[in-house]
Amino acid sequence: MRKLTQSRNLWRWLNTLLCSFVFTVTATVTYEPLLLAASPSERSHPPKPLTQSKTSRMPISPAALAPIRVHDIRIQESPGNTRLVLELNRQAKAIERRATHPNRVVISLPNTSMSRSAQAKAERGVMSTPFTIRYTSLPEITVSVPTTAFQSYKLFTLTNPPRLVVDITPPPDPLSALSHTPIPLSSPSPLFGQPDVPPAKNYTTIVIDPGHGGKDAGARGPGETEEKDITLKVGLKLRDLLSTQPGVRVLMTRDQDVFVELKDRAKFANGQDADLFVSVHVNSHPSHQVKGIEIYHFGEAKDQRALAVAARENGTPLNSTGVGWEYLVADLLTTKKIESSLELAWTAKEAMVTHMNRHYAIYDHGVKTAPFYVLRFTSMPSILAEIAFISNPEEEGLLRNPAFIQDVAQALFKGVTRFLAANKADSR
């Protein structure tokens, strides 16, 4: 019995020894290639445990998921073009398709909502034909145009600020388009004693825009003269002179010391169907030696000083004032308006230099382009006249002189009337 027990113990010992040998051989065969491939420094350190790699994820902001918003809707018409502009809070992707019954082009803006003011315009039918704008709760906005209402159309987007623009060219025969155009509701009959509006304008409307006003003093001179007071005096004198002309209606964006937003000035001129827009301002410069006059029309600033002047008059930072020529497209500044504004600017400048040099030594800075707000958003030929440098002590003194104010108004009057006479002759 004792021998049997010893034999079993011996067998267990041999079995354990054999298993240890097999494990050692296996471990050597398994890991030796790894040790051979490693550098000496790596062999002296145990391998680090494996960790799960971190996946880089792009954060998605809530603003990117929110619907695009239409802030405003504008319709602008000219004899050969009708334009729809949707002002957006960020860029949108439009989807175009053709639909039938009736035949039309449908432009969809998915994940897009409307502001209350824009929605009110669409619901009240303010949008003129041929555009039909619908807003659903998806949210989605659709713009549809009957194919009979246009010869061609163009859809494009613009940036700074984001806009969607639809241009419509009417068909050659307007009668074919009218037969498919929804008939607007008849307007109520005029009140008793109210004259009917004539079918065609037989007068010229000129809007005078005295810069700044109220809480916005504008530029100040060394003697504390404020721009807003000078521009109002010149504007009132110019109104009195132009009002003497037959067939001329003169309006002002302000006729007293009140603050008027830039957008309201442009909206007023457009709402009055003005033919000309003349904005009066006084210049300023860091150097008190600079003096003279310069006339602006809308466009891209050609030099840093023109950009600085526009930034000051617009009340915007210098780095956000510059614009590209895309604004000329976005706001329907047609070639005719650009040419007319340029002609008006040169005519007014030449008249001012000629008239003022009879009594004063006037330095001519010429005609320039800059992105002034009131020039950009008015739909008629428009200029902005910088009549003197209030930062120059000598010219500040002149601006305080009523005779000088009268002469400036007289010079602008001559420029405007010469422009009107030349264009009247051309239209015959």
User: What is the per-residue pLDDT for 352?
Assistant: 93
User: Nearest 5°: CA angle at 253, between 341 and 374?
Assistant: 40
CA-wise closest residue to 125 among 168, 186, 178:
186
The tens place of each residue's pLDDT in the chain, 428 residues long, gives 555 455 556 556 555 555 544 444 443 333 333 333 334 444 444 444 444 444 444 454 555 568 888 888 887 776 677 888 888 888 888 898 998 888 889 999 998 888 887 887 777 655 556 888 888 877 888 888 888 888 888 888 877 678 888 888 888 754 443 444 443 333 333 333 333 334 456 789 999 999 999 999 999 999 999 999 999 999 999 999 999 999 999 999 999 999 998 889 988 998 999 999 999 999 999 899 999 999 988 765 444 544 454 454 544 443 444 444 444 444 444 556 778 888 999 999 999 999 998 889 889 998 887 667 777 788 889 999 999 999 999 999 999 999 999 999 999 999 999 999 888 755 54
Residues 162 and 244 in one domain: no
Residues 161 and 209 in one domain: no
56 within some domain: no
User: What is the per-residue pLDDT for 252?
Assistant: 95
Residue 208 maps to which CATH number? 3.40.630.40
Place of tokens 């809530």: 62
Residues 417 and 329 in one domain: yes
4 within some domain: no
Q: Which of 115, 144, 178 marks a domain boundary?
A: 178
Residues 257 and 161 in one domain: no
Residues 135 and 247 in one domain: no
- Domain encompassing residue 137: 66-178
In this structure, the chain runs to a length of 428
226 within some domain: yes
2 within some domain: no
Q: Burial, 397: exposed, middle or buried (Cβ in 10 Å; 0-12, 13-18, 19+)?
A: middle
Give the pTM.
Answer: 0.51
User: Nearest 5°: CA angle at 20, between 18 and 21?
Assistant: 65
CA-wise closest residue to 230 among 391, 419, 418:
391
User: What is the per-residue pLDDT for 181?
Assistant: 42
Residues 97 and 168 in one domain: yes
Q: Please, which residues have CB within 8 angstroms of residue 149's CB and are 6 or more apart in sequence?
A: 129, 130, 168, 170, 171, 177, 180, 181
Q: Please give the tally of structural domains in the chain.
A: 2
374 within some domain: yes
26 within some domain: no
User: What is the per-residue pLDDT for 386?
Assistant: 94
User: What is the per-residue pLDDT for 303?
Assistant: 47
Q: Which of 122, 143, 178 marks a domain boundary?
A: 178
Place of tokens 């019995």: 1
User: What is the per-residue pLDDT for 7?
Assistant: 56
Q: Please, which residues have CB within 8 angstroms of residue 113's CB and are 6 or more apart in sequence?
A: 67, 68, 69, 70, 135, 139, 141
CA 299 to mean position of chain CA atoms = 13
**CA–CA separation, 56 vs 59, rounded Å?**
9
Residues 254 and 161 in one domain: no
User: What is the per-residue pLDDT for 176?
Assistant: 42
Residues 132 and 263 in one domain: no
Residues 279 and 328 in one domain: yes
Residues 173 and 212 in one domain: no
- Asked if 161 contacts 155 with a C-beta cutoff of 8 angstroms, the reply is no
User: What is the per-residue pLDDT for 179?
Assistant: 42
Residue 83 maps to which CATH number? 2.60.40.3500
34 within some domain: no
User: Which pairs count as long-range contacts for 331-340, CB under 8 Å and 24+ apart, including other chains?
Assistant: 331/76, 331/85, 331/376, 331/377, 331/379, 332/76, 332/78, 332/81, 332/83, 332/379, 333/298, 333/376, 333/379, 334/78, 334/81, 337/379, 337/380, 337/381, 338/297, 338/299, 340/381, 340/423
User: What is the per-residue pLDDT for 390?
Assistant: 96
User: Nearest 5°: CA angle at 309, between 250 and 269?
Assistant: 25
Residues 103 and 138 in one domain: yes
- Asked if 92 contacts 142 with a C-beta cutoff of 8 angstroms, the reply is no
User: What is the per-residue pLDDT for 2?
Assistant: 54
- For 409, the enclosing helix (H) or strand (E) is helix 402-426
57 within some domain: no
CA 288 to mean position of chain CA atoms = 34
Structure tokens at 268: 């007023």
- For 141, the enclosing helix (H) or strand (E) is strand 140-146
User: How far, CA to CA in Å, does 75 sit from each of 47, 124, 306?
Assistant: 72, 14, 30
Residues 298 and 363 in one domain: yes
